[in-house]
């Protein structure tokens, strides 16, 4: 039986493969490893170095026995940080160049998709909000051109937010089943508007999602941050919570197969 953590970070200063071993020893088998802003970048070459770190960490995870799908892109907050150093046009071009680099990695099969794309999860000036949404649309268009799934980082996923994200996807004809709302909760799964939802693996969330009519995946958003061990959730959480939910009759074996095998396969195509 596959047990997939749909959103997992590793950090060169963190526990790296030791965290992956914890995941495996708890019953996990597969990870969606997501690129992390390890440092602030102002040049495309520095962003490429950041992604190369994620690729190396993914290889370490494979070496200890995990099956891994890597997604990478510039983070939405990177756009805001670039605006501190350059004007809107240059910052936008720089960000989209980084997106384009990641689409090339998808073509090369070095990564399976793009993430985290999206928009700020906190209040910003209206001009920055509009720019972030514009850049998200353009990024989705580029991802679609290489048939890449996209992991979204946004504000909390209420039904209204999910409707808005769905509308953005529609504008560029991006396949909504390949658009993953990361850090999902009850609001996101209540009415996902055809997007795929990845639920933070709390007992409360699992119980709620299990009783909806929509499919979902499970994640920890583990950060591998030495200053905050176990944040957002620890690496053992998804396998432990999944197995406990089965024991307690909250999840059926059929649901577990959908959560951990069928849906991740449909979204990401392959793990290796």
Residues ≥6 apart with Cβ < 8 Å to 33: 8, 9, 10, 54, 57, 58, 61, 68, 69, 70, 71
pLDDT number for residue 76: 97
H-only helix segments in 108-221: 126-145, 159-171, 186-190, 203-210
- pLDDT bucket at 59, cuts 50 / 70 / 90: very high
If you search the block for the tokens 């994620």, which residue do you land on?
Answer: 54
Distances (CA, A) of 225 to 12, 41, 43, 101: 9, 19, 25, 26
pTM greater than 0.95 (yes/no): yes
pLDDT in tens, 206-218: 999 999 999 999 9
Domains of the chain by start residue, with CATH: 4-268 (3.20.20.140)
Q: Label each residue of 250-272 as H, E or C.
A: CCCHHHHHHHHHHHHHHHHCCCC
Angle at CA of residue 170, ends 217 and 184, nearest 5°: 25
pLDDT in tens, 3-57: 999 999 999 999 999 999 999 999 999 999 999 999 999 999 999 999 999 999 9
- pLDDT bucket at 2, cuts 50 / 70 / 90: very high
* Interstrand relation of 179-184 and 150-153 (parallel, antiparallel or unpaired): parallel
pLDDT number for residue 79: 97
- pLDDT bucket at 60, cuts 50 / 70 / 90: very high
d(CA 28, CA 176): 27
pLDDT in tens, 174-206: 999 999 999 999 999 999 999 999 999 999 999
> Considering the chain, what percentage of its residues have pLDDT values greater than 70?
100
Distances (CA, A) of 28 to 61, 102, 162: 12, 27, 29
pLDDT number for residue 42: 95
* Half-sphere exposure in the Cβ direction for 183 (13 Å, CA): 19
DSSP summary character for residue 178: G
């Amino acid at each position: 039986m596959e047990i997939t953590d749909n959103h997992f970070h590793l950090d060169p200063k963190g526990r790296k493969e030791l965290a992956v071993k914890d995941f495996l020893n708890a019953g996990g088998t597969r990870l969606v490893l997501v690129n992390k802003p390890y440092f602030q970048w102002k040049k495309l070459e520095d962003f490429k170095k950041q992604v190369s770190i994620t690729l190396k960490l993914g290889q370490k995870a494979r070496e200890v026995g995990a099956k891994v799908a890597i997604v990478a892109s510039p983070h939405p907050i990177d756009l805001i940080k670039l605006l501190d150093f350059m004007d809107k046009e240059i910052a936008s071009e720089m960000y989209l160049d980084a997106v384009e680099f990641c689409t090339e990695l998808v073509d090369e099969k070095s990564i399976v998709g793009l993430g985290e794309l999206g928009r700020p999860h906190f209040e910003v000036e209206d001009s920055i909000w509009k720019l972030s949404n514009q850049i998200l649309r353009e990024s989705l268009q580029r991802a679609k051109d290489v048939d890449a799934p996209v992991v979204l980082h946004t504000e909390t996923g209420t039904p209204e937010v999910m409707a808005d994200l769905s509308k953005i996807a529609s504008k560029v004809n991006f396949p909504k089943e390949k658009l993953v709302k990361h850090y999902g909760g009850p609001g996101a799964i209540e009415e996902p508007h055809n997007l795929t939802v990845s639920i933070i693996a709390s007992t409360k969330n699992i119980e709620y999602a299990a009783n909806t009519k929509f499919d979902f995946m499970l994640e920890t958003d583990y950060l591998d941050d030495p200053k905050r061990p176990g944040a957002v959730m620890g690496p053992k959480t998804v396998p432990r919570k999944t197995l406990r939910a089965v024991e307690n009759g909250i999840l059926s074996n059929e649901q577990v197969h959908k959560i951990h095998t069928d849906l991740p396969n449909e979204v990401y195509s392959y793990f290796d």
